[in-house]
Amino acid sequence: MLGWALTFLVVAIIAAVFGFGGIASASAGIAQFLFFVFLLLFVVALVARAVRGKPPV
């Protein structure tokens, strides 16, 4: 999922360089949303691993 967020971020940067403001804005919004979803799932996985009693890696 982090890979998709980075892909949309690169698309947003390239679209902004070429002057496509709408596409750049939409891609940046999607990248931001995917990044926060990834971050949330990462934290949930860390908490679940801690609750189960396994030490963090």
Domain ranges of the chain: 2-51
Q: Model pTM greater than 0.85?
A: no
pLDDT at 55 (0 to 100):
65
21-39 tens-digit pLDDT: 888 888 888 888 988 999 9
Average pLDDT over residues 49-53: 85
- Kindly state the greatest CA–CA separation across the chain: 51
Contact 1, 37 (CB under 8 A): yes
As a whole number, the mean pLDDT across the chain is 86
42 contacts: CB under 8 Å, gap ≥ 6:
none
